[in-house]
Amino acid sequence: MSESLEALRAEHETLLRFVYQAPVGLLLMRRDGAIELLNPEAVRLLAPRSTQIENVYALLGETGSELRAAVLAFEPSSGVILDQQRWFIRSDSPDTPGLHIAATVHRLEIDAYMVSLQELSRTLEFEHEIRRSSAALGESEQRFRLMADATPAMIWTAAPDSSGDYFNQTWLDFTGRSLEAELGDGWLGGVHPDDRERCFRTYLEAFATRRPFQQDYRLLHRDGSWRWVLDHGAPRITPDGMFAGFVGSSIDITDRINAQQAQAEALRAADEATQAKSRFLAMVSHEIRTPLTAILGLSQLAGAESELVRVRDYAGMIHAAGTDLLTLINDLLDASKMDAGKLELDIVGFDLRALLARVQEMLGVMAGDRGLILRLELAPGLPSRVCGDPLRLRQVLINLLSNAIKFTPAGTVELRVESSIDTDEVLFVVTDTGVGIPAEYMSSLFEPFTQAESSTTRRFGGTGLGLAISSQLVRMMGGELQVVSTPGVGSRFCFGVSLPRERGEPSGDLQKPGAAAALDASVCDPGLRGRRVLLVDDMPINQLVARKFLERAGIIVTTAENGLEALDAATGAGAAFDAILMDLQMPEMDGFEAARNLCARLGDGCPPILAMTAHSPVEEAARCREAGMVGCLGKPIDVERLLLELARVMDIPGL
């Protein structure tokens, strides 16, 4: 018996030790709520908050009534009445907060109940903070998505494993793909195949190092085009330092890339143009120095020569060198004006057949000297009187034929001209049996400052400007200069331009129809002999040259050095001039003002006034007509052209 009691006592002590050492609050209550036993943890939880720890029901207030009802309604003799029921114990002290606890109530016997208490205040606060943070996070994420969808940039996010988990509406609108198609690694399908490996490698390296990255690549646009995008990505780090993936933005930089490429191309083209112009300037320097050397050297030889025949030979050579130099200067001026967009056509009526005959006559001597045949073929029905710019048309034809003669060692050069039956178009075709043009140089043939090859330059000379100028002039006249060439066989240049048939009275001729007389014939013609001309020029040398040319033709010349002297000479007593040759740029009074004054004073009795200018006659023609002049001649003076124009304005028949 004593042993049983001893064992029971030992078990009771063990139970009490467990109760008193338990990490949770334990109390023993009766059916009416009276507290029989409290362990230290229960005292720690309850004592600071209540001065009355005698009855559980009273301690819990309103919750105590619910506990009482549950206890009274529990019928089994033992078992769990409540499991982890959350209670709130109010505090009687203003300095001590209330207490949230989780309570479990066990029925031990008919009138004994064990209540376990576990503090929940920190847990509930943590749970509340979690709920608050989750709500805030959800609200923040919602705001992020709203802002991301509204921004013009393409926004994306990726999880720590590098899989894309969000793409904003701007991205989806740009690619034309669904969000589901882009998630994970699906977005890579829209990257250009040539950029895909590089792009993904940079992307994965950023995730591995958790460092920001920036890269550009081509992304497929919804319209099927490839657009360049600049992609920025940065790691996302949580407040506790955890890596949460990446967030990034992409912008369309196609226009920027195109602008950069265009700028690079422009710089490359500018560099090439600079190099071409440098080569051209060196070439021009050579081309200028060559005739100048001949002019200066031959003039010295002529001055020291006593034989008249040899002096004349030297003079002819000097004239040829001067002509070459003048051609070069005219080409340079035309190229400059074309580059500035200031070259204009002067549309007048002229005799097309006479112009073609004159071109053949001018270049026939050059072809004959080289042992070539220069053939002119005019198709039936070709009109005679047409409207156009005869000076520029002749310039193009002379350039094409001169080139054909220069690059044809032997054989034939032909100019064929035919007109359309239904339209005003006239077709010009220049064919030669010359050296031809290699295919690799055809694309740059009409570009200024370029030539087929340097060896051609050394062999044949020239600047390479002629074809460029001719191509531009043909384009200004409404046509297109085209070429077909075979090396070793020959070349064929052709163009068609609109030359409407002239209506009404003939006007603006370059020369009378059929006028192609040489200088010697003009000198001997009695039509000009005895005619009186007033020559107005402020430069003594120019005045001397013109006067001598006129006097050789039998013309009586009176000179004046400026516009004022011209007015006095033309309006003075006994003045009777058949024509006036007027320089445009002079001191005291220029040629334009002098012409206007003469027309105003003399009226219908004013002699015809021909302008002389060192500028382009074509460009000055309109101003000359406005001032009352009837024509415009360029300097240096072409004596044959001068005499033909005088014959025209004096209405001398047969010239």
Q: What is the per-residue pLDDT across 280-313, written as a single tens digit (0 to 9) for each?
A: 666 666 567 666 776 777 677 777 777 777 778 7
In 3-state terms the chain splits into helix, strand, coil percentages (rounded to 5) of 50, 25, 30
Nearest to 634 by CA among 610, 598, 650: 610
The residue ranking higher by pLDDT, 208 or 309, is 208
Q: Is the pLDDT of residue 505 over 60?
A: no
Residue 220, pLDDT score: 94
Do residues 496 and 428 make contact, with C-beta atoms less than 8 angstroms apart? yes
472-502: buried (b, 16+ CB within 10 Å) or exposed (e) per residue? bbbeebebebebebeeeebbbbbbbbebeeb
Domains of the chain: 2-119 (3.30.450.20), 151-252 (3.30.450.20), 277-338 (1.10.287.130), 346-498 (3.30.565.10), 526-649 (3.40.50.2300)
Residue 221, pLDDT score: 94
269-302: buried (b, 16+ CB within 10 Å) or exposed (e) per residue? eeeeeeebeebbeebbeebbeebeebbeebeeeb
Tokens of 350: 């002229």
- Over residues 498-502, the mean pLDDT reads 90
495, β-bridge pairs:
428
CA distance 68 to 58: 10
Q: State the CB neighbour count (10 A cutoff) for residue 161.
A: 9
Residue 58, pLDDT score: 83
In the structure, what pLDDT confidence band is assigned to residue 378 with cuts at 50, 70 and 90? very high
Does a cis peptide bond (omega within 30 degrees of 0) precede residue 636?
Answer: yes
CA distance 579 to 570: 10
Burial class (CB within 10 angstroms; exposed 0-12, middle 13-18, buried 19+) of 389: buried
Instruction: Please state the pTM of the whole predicted model.
Output: 0.45
Q: What is the per-residue pLDDT across 573-613, written as a single tens digit (0 to 9) for each?
A: 778 899 999 999 888 899 999 999 999 999 988 999 999 88
The residue ranking higher by pLDDT, 574 or 29, is 29
Residue 491, pLDDT score: 92
The residue ranking higher by pLDDT, 617 or 41, is 41
Distance of CA 272 to the CA centre of its chain: 17
In the structure, what pLDDT confidence band is assigned to residue 429 with cuts at 50, 70 and 90? very high
- Over residues 519-542, the mean pLDDT reads 74
The residue ranking higher by pLDDT, 313 or 262, is 262
Residue 509, pLDDT score: 38
Q: Is the pLDDT of residue 480 over 60?
A: yes
In this structure, are strands 482-486 and 412-419 parallel, antiparallel, or unpaired?
unpaired
CA distance 12 to 15: 5
Q: What is the per-residue pLDDT across 134-144, written as a single tens digit (0 to 9) for each?
A: 565 556 566 65
In this structure, are strands 25-29 and 112-119 parallel, antiparallel, or unpaired?
antiparallel
In the structure, what pLDDT confidence band is assigned to residue 523 with cuts at 50, 70 and 90? very low
Least confident of 6-15, 94-103, 473-482, 617-626: 6-15
Distance of CA 644 to the CA centre of its chain: 51
Sign of dihedral through CA atoms 628, 631, 632, 638?
A: negative
